[in-house]
Amino acid sequence: MVLWEDHQIAETLWLSLAIGCASVFGVSAFMKLLHEREWRTSLAGYRIGWLLATRVATIVPLVELATAGGLARFAHPGIAAAGGMLSLGFAVVLGAAYRRGARGDCGCFGGVFRSDIGPGAVIRALCLAAACFLVALAPPNPDWHARAVGTVGVVLVTLLAIEARTALRPVSA
């Protein structure tokens, strides 16, 4: 007896990935709003002048929150694509900051979960972008989508686990 058809597995994986992306955006936005001072301090460390504008520090978490809500509620391909573009923008800004010599906390999670500006943060942002763009390819195609969603999902969860381990490591004085 077959409990799940291929299309059901693909749709479940697709929806799980959409909820996962929504969760990352939601936690990130919530932490930035909750710890605004740390978030603004992190932006100052990027060495990119326009990031110091008050509107940037205010708008970014609000856009993340709207993206999280839209993905969690509707899992709409357009919202997922917007989340992918947002994440690509983060990757570009993180890469530019790293090239300018910035090495402090990226503030991706409001300064609460420490993650340094660098290749790891860029890769994490690119993985989130890839996951969002994969969700944007909805509705899922059972022939290839389940494998693609599963692969990206495993990579994303692995990278987030590595980041969480790094973030929970005690900071040396």
What is the residue extent of each domain of the chain?
A: 24-167
Question: What pLDDT score was predicted for residue 39?
Answer: 87
At residue 173, the pLDDT reads 45
| Distance spanning both ends of the chain, measured CA to CA | 59
Greater confidence (121 vs 164) lies with: 121
- Of the two residues 76 and 129, the one the predictor is more confident about is 129
pTM: 0.76
Structure-model confidence comparison of residues 36 and 1, the more confident one = 36
**Residue 3: pLDDT over 60:** no
Lookup: tokens for 36: 């605004």
Rounded to an integer, the average pLDDT of 54-77 is 86
CA distance 36 to 30: 10
What is the pLDDT at residue 101?
92
Provide DSSP, 104-128: SB--TTTTTS--BSSHHHHHHHHHH
pLDDT averaged over every residue in the chain? 80
The set of residues, in sequence order, having a beta carbon less than 8 Å from that of 107 and lying 6+ positions away, is: 32, 38, 39, 41, 42, 43, 45
Summarize pLDDT for 17-47 with one digit per residue, the tens.
Answer: 888 899 999 999 988 888 888 888 888 888 8
Distances (CA, A) of 41 to 54, 103, 124: 12, 13, 21
Q: What is the mean pLDDT of residues 48-77?
A: 85
High-pLDDT (> 70) share of the chain, %:
73
Q: Which two tokens stand for residue 141?
A: 């195609």
Check pLDDT > 70 for residue 57: yes
Are 39 and 111 spatial neighbours (Cβ–Cβ below 8 Å)?
yes
| pLDDT exceeds 90 at position 86 | yes
Residue 98 has pLDDT above 80, yes or no: yes
